[in-house]
Amino acid sequence: MTPFTSLLSRAVPLIRDNIDTDAIIPSREMKSVAKAGLSDGLFAGWRYTAIGGREPNPDFVLNDPLYQGATILLGGPNFGCGSSREHAVWALAEYGFRAIVAPSFNPIFRGNCIRNGILPIEADPQPLAAVDGPLAVDLTSQTITTPDGVTTRFAMEAEPKRMLLEGLDPIDLTLELRARIRAFRDKDRGMHPWHYLDVTGNSQ
Amino acid sequence: MTAPRTLFDKLWDAHRIATLGEDSDLILIDRILLHERTGGIALKSLEEQGRRVNDPAQVFVTMDHVVDTLPGRTDATIMPTGTQFITATRDAARRAGLTLFDLGDPGQGIVHVISPEQGIILPGLTLVCPDSHTCSQGALGGLAWGIGSSEAEHALATSTLRMQKPRQMRIMVTGILPPGTTAKDLALHILRRIGSSGAHGHMVEYAGPAIAALEIEARLTLCNMATELSAFSAIIAPDDKTAAYLAGRRLAPKGEDRAHALAYWRTLATDTDATFDREEVVDATQVRPMVSWGTSPQQAVPLGEVVPAFDPDQRLSTEDAHQRALAYMGLPPGQRLGDLPIDAAFIGSCTNSRLSDLRRAAAILRGRHVAQGVRAICVPGSTAVKAAAEAEGLDRIFLDAGFEWREAGCSMCFFAGGESFGPEERVVTSTNRNFESRQGPRTRSHLASPETVAASAVTGRITAPADLEAGI
């Protein structure tokens, strides 16, 4: 995973309540068993003039030339609600977004962001939407700074911060604890044998 | 003396292998469920990284999301690339030695329907699935929650997840649901009251006399909609109904194991003095048959009420969101929902496709017929539900009433590029999400109970079951 340290970009304002993962990547746009090839489907229902089409809707903010190449997205409350589909985050990442600022995130979506190097920032996006120019986001200091030098701090827990900053693979980290996991399961099997099945579906 | 603990605390503590840092624990995962939509990619990605499934016996795979539900189905799908999802998932599941409920298998069905049915979820277990409605299964007293595909890879490779313990919220439901109202109406009532992020990030425990009175399948419906509150998940303490429901299920403990399990399950309930980060009290006696009018599940009202105008005093929605929903749904404020003509009626999904749901809908449809011009579809949640329904003749009632009777799957709960309802068609649906274009391009979805869907199908307009019976 690409480590996240800082970025400098204009922020795309898409501040609507409850932007769901069906809106971020409609199910019909998830065409193959792959994590790539999804960015064309990003916000497809709003971004194009017709369902299934590719003619840009000029009224949709992502099609505004001002925001081409932007890596920060401003969203509304409960961003990423609905389906757990990680395809929503893969599509956002492939399109180029590296940070999302919203008043709140759906918990599964937020976890998916962290797993894919997108920084979810819980903050009020409205003041940032009024800024004409690039925002500087820095994860180490947990700050957003406007071109005028106004700095806002945001909260981030230690574990996701470390994962993002170092671009760590959590599976590798956890596999280092393999012996502890095995010992815990062995002990637990003694207490709750019915929790453990063999491949025929019988408890071990 | 140990401090009083909640049901969730007890399950968390019993599964905590290690503390990873100031705010993170390594949690043991007992069961992993996968479907072809988001599970296939997890298995494929795991293989590509040269990793193995740690314990294949704890993993169950089903086909539900993109499979066709028309009679005589095969691997071919109406969705243009659906076959690829089915075959990739099947092949990866076989290579990894996982239990697979394939097309044609009597165990096949919607993941959250088959898991309780087979005793895969049990009280006291942790269970994850890359599907947001995994919270449904908390109804059995297990800790079950939805994750992304990357987290699923982690669970498959390690039998664990790295977790931050979520905050906790109890929703105490006092009184008893009035006759003619259901768990679905209760779920929509709660959504209307606290909003689509009303349980944001919290583990919700549903408790109180109204919950104790619910049968297990109704509890599954209630917990199913917890993700629509943006909850981490939901759970209900196991009780005698849970124990009775699980007796004899294929993977549930038997014999001596069952005796030990029953004793263990009795220790899990929240201690009397345990505290929650938040508490909500809901009076079940105030619940009425509900229907959604907008594009978020919180935008729901009792059937007799009108589509609301924006209320600046409420804090659950912005004016922009309210107006967008009205425009999308083609509804003016003040419109009586009970008068709205519909184009289609859908009974199915992980919310409301179990045998009790089909029985209650069939009781309304018996001797009646769907209104002219209304397309009506019933999709049982699992192959086992379908077989049980057919054994008691429910399929005949649906078919005689003019409903389509389908094979088990998620079907038209969402539009994946295959079958869908049409643009601006108005659908009354027993599903869980009324998002823009969820059930079809620009389709207008109204969430309701299976009874309300059945009654509405008969009259051709949104109708409360009691009004149909009364001939109103």
Chain B residue at shortest CA distance from A194: B253
End-to-end CA distance of chain A: 38
- Per-residue pLDDT, A113: 97
Residue A48: count of CB within 10 angstroms of its CB = 18
Instruction: Give the three-state DSSP class for A168.
Output: coil
- Per-residue pLDDT, A198: 83
Residues 6+ apart with CB under 8 A from A29: A38, A40, A41, A44, A91, B417
Surface of B (196-255) touching A: CB under 8 A: 196-197, 200-201, 227-228, 230-232, 250-253
Question: Measured between alpha carbons, how far is residue B268 from residues A32, A145, B11, B141, B247 in Å?
Answer: 42, 48, 8, 8, 18
Q: Which tens digit of pLDDT belongs to each residue from B154-173?
A: 999 999 999 999 999 999 99
Does A108 sit within 8 Å of B160, measured CB to CB? no
To the nearest whole Å, the CA of B147 is away from the closest chain A CA by 6
Q: What's the complex ipTM?
A: 0.96
The CATH class given to the B168-238+270-286 domain equals: alpha beta
Does A171 sit within 8 Å of B153, measured CB to CB? yes
Task: Check if the beta carbon of residue A144 is closer than 8 Å to that of residue A134.
Answer: no
Question: Measured between alpha carbons, how far is residue B127 from residues B130, B161, B270, B343 in Å?
Answer: 11, 11, 20, 38
Residues 6+ apart with CB under 8 A from B247: B258
Does A157 sit within 8 Å of B159, measured CB to CB? no
* Contacts A178 to B, Cβ<8 Å: 158
Does A33 sit within 8 Å of B320, measured CB to CB? no
Interface test with B, best of A22, A28, A38, A172 (most B CBs within 10 A): A28
Does A177 sit within 8 Å of B18, measured CB to CB? yes
- B215: Cα separation from own chain's centroid: 15
Does A30 sit within 8 Å of B296, measured CB to CB? no
- Positions in chain B whose pLDDT score sits under 50: none
Q: Which of B130, B132, B321 sits opposite A17 (nearest CB)?
A: B321
- Per-residue pLDDT, B339: 80
Chain B residue at shortest CA distance from A192: B261
How many A/B residue pairs have CB atoms within 8 Å? 204
Beta bridge partners of A119: A99
E strands, B36-98, are 59-62
Whole-angstrom distance, CA of residue B204 vs CA of residue B276:
10
Structural domains in chain A, CATH included, are 6-167 (3.20.19.10), 169-204 (no CATH)
- Judge whether B447 is closer than 8 Å to chain A, CB to CB: no
Does B166 sit within 8 Å of A174, measured CB to CB? no
Does A108 sit within 8 Å of B251, measured CB to CB? no
Q: Which tens digit of pLDDT belongs to each residue from A25-80?
A: 999 999 999 999 999 999 999 999 998 899 999 999 999 999 999 999 999 999 99
Of B273, B282, B281, give the one whose Cα is nearest residue B9: B273
Of B347, B352, B413, B353, give the one whose Cα is nearest residue B383: B353
Q: Which of A16, A76, A159 sits opposite B24 (nearest CB)?
A: A159
- Per-residue pLDDT, B235: 98
Task: Check if the beta carbon of residue A34 is closer than 8 Å to that of residue B41.
Answer: yes
- Judge whether B438 is closer than 8 Å to chain A, CB to CB: yes
Q: Which pTM value belongs to this model?
A: 0.97
To the nearest whole Å, the CA of A148 is away from the closest chain B CA by 29
Q: Which tens digit of pLDDT belongs to each residue from A87-141?
A: 999 999 999 999 999 999 999 999 999 999 999 999 999 999 999 999 999 999 9
Task: Check if the beta carbon of residue B117 is closer than 8 Å to that of residue B382.
Answer: yes
- The vertex-B194 CA angle with B188 and B196, nearest 5°, equals 70
Q: pLDDT tier at A202 (50, 70, 90 boundaries)?
A: low
Residue A203 predicted with pLDDT over 60: no
Of B86, B60, B91, give the one whose Cα is nearest residue B74: B86
Whole-angstrom distance, CA of residue A68 vs CA of residue A58:
13
* Common-topology check for domains B168-238+270-286 and B290-469: no
Whole-angstrom distance, CA of residue B216 vs CA of residue B115:
13
Task: Check if the beta carbon of residue A100 is closer than 8 Å to that of residue A120.
Answer: yes
Residue A1 predicted with pLDDT over 80: no
The two structure tokens encoding residue B308: 């609301």
Domain boundaries, chain B: 7-164+239-263, 168-238+270-286, 290-469
SS3 annotation, B180-221: CCCHHHHHHHHHHHHCCCCCCCCEEEEECHHHHCCCHHHHHH
Q: What is the CA radius of gyration of chain B?
A: 21
The single-letter DSSP state of residue B464 is -
- Per-residue pLDDT, B1: 59
Query: In what helix (H) or strand (E) does residue A90 lie, and over which residues does it extend?
Result: helix A87-95
Whole-angstrom distance, CA of residue B450 vs CA of residue B431:
9
Q: Which tens digit of pLDDT belongs to each residue from A129-165?
A: 999 999 999 999 999 999 999 999 999 999 999 999 9
Surface of B (291-330) touching A: CB under 8 A: 296, 317-318, 320-321, 324
- Judge whether B262 is closer than 8 Å to chain A, CB to CB: no
Chain A residue at shortest CA distance from B97: A199
| Pick among 3.30.720.110, 3.10.129.10, 3.30.499.10, 3.40.309.10: CATH of B7-164+239-263 | 3.30.499.10
Of A39, A42, A13, A37, give the one whose Cα is nearest residue A25: A42
User: In this prediction, what percent of chain A has a pLDDT beyond 90?
Assistant: 92
| Pick among 3.40.50.620, 3.30.499.10, 3.40.50.2300, 3.30.1360.10: CATH of B290-469 | 3.30.499.10
Q: Which amino acid is at B416?
A: A
Does B148 sit within 8 Å of A45, measured CB to CB? no
Q: Which of B232, B321, B415 sits opposite A27 (nearest CB)?
A: B415
Surface of B (6-45) touching A: CB under 8 A: 14, 17-18, 20-24, 26, 28, 30, 37-38, 40-41, 44-45
To the nearest whole Å, the CA of A33 is away from the closest chain B CA by 5
Q: pLDDT tier at A201 (50, 70, 90 boundaries)?
A: low
